[in-house]
A and B are shown apart, each in its own frame.
Chain A
Amino acid sequence: MITMATRAGPFTHTVNSISRTMLWVMAALLPATAYGLWLFGWPALMLFVITLGSALAAEAAMLKLLGQPVRSRLFDGSALLTGWLLALSLPPWAPWWIGLLGSLSAIVIGKHLFGGLGQNMFNPAMVARIVLLISFPVQLTVWVAPAPFGSDASPSFGQALAYVSDSTPLPEHMSAATSLGVLKTEHSRGVSVVKTAAQLPPPAQLAIGHESGSMGETSAGLLLAGGLLLIVLRIISWHIPVAMLGTLAALAAIFSAVDPTRFATAPIHLLSGAAVLGAFFIATDYVTSPVSRSGQLLFGAGIGALTWVIRSLGAYPEGVAFAVVLMNAMVPLIDRGFRPRVFGRSRRGKTLEANTQPKIKL
């Protein structure tokens, strides 16, 4: 019996653990992922497997290189989740080396060069996406029209192998632009946003996700369901998603009301692109988001605002990845400035007056 005090209490402990958290997040991603893989067929499935596999391989190599415990860390789920999120943010028919390079960037540069699990400042999956987007703008902006398994457009296994191995160029007729992409290019040609928006799929279809886009970002509805599951399980709190989507929607609503020919409406902003995926699964990454509730509200609002700014005023049609990474850089500052109020002290840290009874506000 260990009776000597090796460690102070408590002597009871939650059953929660890192891997349990990661497993639940992956479970919550499963419906939207399955839908995306179905929608884009064999090439997407191959890219998904390649990206996740190379993320695990990169993690194992880095753990070994850095002398960290390989067996326990490799399967804590964090590297797998990073690879998963990266895969979901890639064009579904991108070649194999995009997945490989992305995973290497995420795990080696995004995670381990900062010190490994818990130490990285930026969301590794988004770092990788940005590295890829800037280095390989062509491959990262080739989108395909939905080609679900079983449909005529769905490529066979052999065809898919040819596309993914980059030996055959993608057929011209399969390429399609994303909603946000169409808006951006048409607007730059001087076409009114109102007119372009009328040709986009209706909001209900955008919510289901039957549209072109990244592998796992299209189905806003399934992503929302997964996100709500995480909130119900208390794995994430509502603060970041609500602040991010609320800010994005508010800005879109205000500006589209002011100048509808130039700015897209709130439903388009919320339902297309990576808004919902980002809000529930990427911005809420523990390591790279603030720890206090008030800080999380500010962080989420910042991502929402930056996303709107980049999409509406910037050169890229989509801005979630940039917005997340820019706000990641603000996290140390936010954490410093937005601490919870200490019991018995005012917000500014002064001891409360003994006689005055403060109104309880927490």
Chain B
Amino acid sequence: MWSFRVRGGVKLQYHKELSSEKAVVAMPLPRRLYLPLQQHIGAPAIPVVAVGDTVLKGQLIAKAAPGLSAPVHASSSGTVVAIEEYVAPHPSGLRQKTIIIATDGQDRWADLPTPVIDDFPLGVSPSELNSRVAGAGIVGMGGAAFPSAVKLDLKSRYQLDMLLINGAECEPYLTCDDRLMREEAAAVIDGVRILAYALEVQSVVFAIERNKPQALAAIRDAARVEPWIKVMALPTRFPMGSERHLVLACTGRETPSRKLTADIGVVVHNVATARAVARTIRSGEPLISRVVTVSGRGIREPANINVPLGTLVEDLLVFCGGLHPVPHKLIGGGPMMGAPMPSVQVPVVKGTSGVLALTADEVNDGAESPCIRCGSCVSACPCGLVPLEMAQLVRRGDLQGAHTIGLQDCVSCGSCSFICPSHIPLSHYFNFAKGQLGALDRDSRRQDRIRSLIQARNERAAREAETKKAAAAARKAAKAAAAASTAAPAATPASQLEEST
């Protein structure tokens, strides 16, 4: 089956051979686990344990907040020693509420939900599956960490007809999905079938880039049980794994700007997410570990490791034999779209697909020189944008101008920055501008809210004055002038108006 043509993109140096032949190994249990309450897109989870509590492996320690959120479970048994602000795995190095568990080394399991062991059709309803996935705290494990249950629930609002499994793994260095597909193909396919069942779609496409022939063979083999699962080999080109570009390559359907792939009937889930769903449904285990690729030429022994969530990156690096002297950058995720880690003392979370220690040669971030308008960025942009022009507008401070020519259609894949012969940090400009526009937008919405609150208050005051006047008139009429009103109506304190939206 041929894939559809996707505009732009870049050819990369993949360096996957550093870790692609290393089978997944288990990480020894660390002495402490650091579980941030927010490892997903949405509101932070709410702790349901207190300092000093004993917790068991797989026990719920923080429940999902109302709205978009996901729960957090203990990755091993032990004692909660603190619930405090701790450095988050985010380039800012800001702190966030984290539950810290001292492990007892016994790995005692909590009571888990009853596994669903029957073959298809499953003995449980799609909505039951959905709530189990939500309860297990499963999020998109490709890196975005969007709560998976919310994606499964899209069927209530959109006409869905296809499930697309993202096994592209288009980032250099990362091999965790590759290893999962090779080593646990049957479980991955089981997860895919469960997802398809939960979504009630008839058509499934499993997309894998051609640079992973063993994974392709393993998945083809495992998918033979279900002939309706189509396995597609995709050209190796970054950013093939970007959701909307993957949908275009596999189906020829183009997601409208600022819409979801669900708008055109497709839901995309990552390979590791499918694996996590299968584990949750088949054994009742919540999401408490994930496979992480530790690689880069700054790592002594690159590896694919099954890591309990909350393990510190430092422990992971020690497990991999440590660092070569002075790597240039420490990255969480892939080198194209990942982010620098603020320190080695940050935990592995649900979205951590890789930990890379890169040398200066690998990063190759030379000094910036002037733009020579070579147009490489225009050819490379998979979104059809003109990065050099957008960057010029952002540099000039004309955010609105950048917005007009499509800033918000940028998926931040970094292809433009990668290809620029002048080393201009184009995607850095765009990330900055998007942040600024987001802040401006929030600000204007807040102003709108303040305005409407002030208006509401004025109207209420007017109404109260009206009522008071009427009451006074009534009293006057009753000749009870002595009972004049004294109590001033309580005005809304200004601080209450500052309420953020």
Chain A interface (Cβ < 8 Å from any Cβ of B): 1-5, 7-18, 20-21, 72-73, 76, 78, 116-119, 237, 286-293, 335, 339-345, 349, 351-354, 357-358, 360, 362
B369–A11 contact, CB under 8 A? no
Measured CA separation A353–B254 after assembly (Å): 10
B109 in the interface (beta carbon within 8 A): no
Of all chain A residues, the one with the shortest Cβ separation from B415 is A10
Other-chain residue from A21, A291, A357 in contact with B378 (beta carbon distance below 8 A): A291
A7–B428 contact, CB under 8 A? yes
B406–A342 contact, CB under 8 A? yes
Nearest Cβ on chain A to B87's Cβ, whole angstroms? 11
Nearest Cβ on chain B to A144's Cβ, whole angstroms? 36
Other-chain residue from A7, A11, A14, A291 in contact with B338 (beta carbon distance below 8 A): A11
B467 in the interface (beta carbon within 8 A): no
How many chain B residues touch A (Cβ–Cβ < 8 Å)? 82
B37-45, B64-72, B379-387 - interface stretch: B379-387
Of all chain A residues, the one with the shortest Cβ separation from B428 is A8
B384–A341 contact, CB under 8 A? yes
Measured CA separation A343–B92 after assembly (Å): 31
B127 in the interface (beta carbon within 8 A): no
Other-chain residue from B256, B363, B366, B388 in contact with A352 (beta carbon distance below 8 A): B256
Return the 10 tightest CB-CB contacts between A and B, nearest first. A344-B257, A5-B91, A10-B414, A291-B375, A354-B263, A118-B370, A352-B256, A340-B384, A13-B364, A12-B335
B20-28, B95-103, B326-334, B458-466 - interface stretch: B326-334
B340–A1 contact, CB under 8 A? no
Interface centre among A21, A287, A340, by most chain B C-beta atoms within 10 angstroms, is A340
A10–B337 contact, CB under 8 A? yes
Nearest Cβ on chain B to A17's Cβ, whole angstroms? 5
A11–B383 contact, CB under 8 A? no
Other-chain residue from B257, B370, B406 in contact with A116 (beta carbon distance below 8 A): B370
Measured CA separation A9–B323 after assembly (Å): 21
B interface, over-half SS? loop
Given A5-B92, A10-B414, A343-B244, A287:B372 Cβ within 8 A: yes
B410-443 interface (Cβ within 8 A of A): 414, 417-423, 425, 427-428, 431-432
Measured CA separation A189–B211 after assembly (Å): 68
Contacting residues, chain B, for A116 (C-beta < 8 A): 370
Nearest Cβ on chain B to A131's Cβ, whole angstroms? 23
Given A3-B343, A12-B335, A16-B419, A292:B7 Cβ within 8 A: no
Contacting residues, chain A, for B233 (C-beta < 8 A): none
A1–B418 contact, CB under 8 A? no
Measured CA separation A171–B381 after assembly (Å): 57
Other-chain residue from B244, B340, B378 in contact with A4 (beta carbon distance below 8 A): B340
B343–A362 contact, CB under 8 A? no
B340–A352 contact, CB under 8 A? no
B217 in the interface (beta carbon within 8 A): no
B239-283 interface (Cβ within 8 A of A): 244-245, 248, 252-259, 263-264
Contacting residues, chain B, for A358 (C-beta < 8 A): 254
Of all chain B residues, the one with the shortest Cβ separation from A76 is B369
Other-chain residue from B255, B336, B343, B425 in contact with A12 (beta carbon distance below 8 A): B336
Contacting residues, chain A, for B10 (C-beta < 8 A): 14
B342 in the interface (beta carbon within 8 A): yes
Other-chain residue from A4, A12, A21, A352 in contact with B257 (beta carbon distance below 8 A): A352
B389 in the interface (beta carbon within 8 A): yes
Given A3-B341, A344-B258, A345-B409, A11:B5 Cβ within 8 A: no
A17–B421 contact, CB under 8 A? yes
Contacting residues, chain A, for B358 (C-beta < 8 A): 11-12
Other-chain residue from B7, B342, B422 in contact with A3 (beta carbon distance below 8 A): B342
B312-332 interface (Cβ within 8 A of A): 323, 326-331
B115 in the interface (beta carbon within 8 A): no
B383–A343 contact, CB under 8 A? yes
Nearest Cβ on chain B to A330's Cβ, whole angstroms? 15
Other-chain residue from B342, B372, B406 in contact with A117 (beta carbon distance below 8 A): B372
Nearest Cβ on chain A to B393's Cβ, whole angstroms? 12
Nearest Cβ on chain B to A272's Cβ, whole angstroms? 30
B235 in the interface (beta carbon within 8 A): no
Contacting residues, chain B, for A1 (C-beta < 8 A): 323, 326-330
10 of the cross-chain contacts (CB-CB < 8 Å) are A8-B339, A10-B414, A117-B370, A290-B375, A342-B406, A343-B244, A343-B254, A343-B382, A343-B383, A349-B406
Other-chain residue from A9, A16, A78, A286 in contact with B337 (beta carbon distance below 8 A): A9
Contacting residues, chain B, for A119 (C-beta < 8 A): 370
11 other contacts beyond A2-B340, A16-B419, with CB at 8 A cut-off? A1-B330, A9-B331, A9-B336, A9-B337, A11-B336, A12-B363, A340-B378, A343-B254, A345-B406, A354-B263, A360-B248
Measured CA separation A295–B10 after assembly (Å): 21
B116 in the interface (beta carbon within 8 A): no
Of all chain B residues, the one with the shortest Cβ separation from A339 is B386
Of all chain A residues, the one with the shortest Cβ separation from B375 is A291
B13 in the interface (beta carbon within 8 A): yes
Contacting residues, chain A, for B384 (C-beta < 8 A): 339-343, 345, 362
Contacting residues, chain B, for A4 (C-beta < 8 A): 91, 93, 340, 342
B259–A344 contact, CB under 8 A? yes
Given A292-B386, A354-B256, A11:B378 Cβ within 8 A: no
Nearest Cβ on chain B to A2's Cβ, whole angstroms? 6
Measured CA separation A118–B373 after assembly (Å): 7
Contacting residues, chain A, for B409 (C-beta < 8 A): 342-345
Measured CA separation A199–B296 after assembly (Å): 68
Interface centre among A9, A335, A360, by most chain B C-beta atoms within 10 angstroms, is A9
B371 in the interface (beta carbon within 8 A): yes
Contacting residues, chain A, for B150 (C-beta < 8 A): none
Of all chain A residues, the one with the shortest Cβ separation from B14 is A12
B197 in the interface (beta carbon within 8 A): no
B328–A344 contact, CB under 8 A? no
Measured CA separation A3–B91 after assembly (Å): 8
B421–A12 contact, CB under 8 A? no
Measured CA separation A13–B420 after assembly (Å): 8
Nearest Cβ on chain B to A31's Cβ, whole angstroms? 24
Measured CA separation A17–B382 after assembly (Å): 21
A12–B375 contact, CB under 8 A? no
Measured CA separation A343–B383 after assembly (Å): 5
B378–A292 contact, CB under 8 A? yes
Measured CA separation A186–B374 after assembly (Å): 42
A286–B375 contact, CB under 8 A? yes
Measured CA separation A87–B362 after assembly (Å): 40
Measured CA separation A15–B367 after assembly (Å): 13
Nearest Cβ on chain B to A110's Cβ, whole angstroms? 15
Given A339-B386, A343-B383, A12:B328 Cβ within 8 A: no
B421–A21 contact, CB under 8 A? yes
Nearest Cβ on chain A to B145's Cβ, whole angstroms? 17
Of all chain A residues, the one with the shortest Cβ separation from B258 is A351
Nearest Cβ on chain B to A63's Cβ, whole angstroms? 12
A3–B340 contact, CB under 8 A? yes
B365 in the interface (beta carbon within 8 A): yes
Contacting residues, chain B, for A72 (C-beta < 8 A): 367, 369
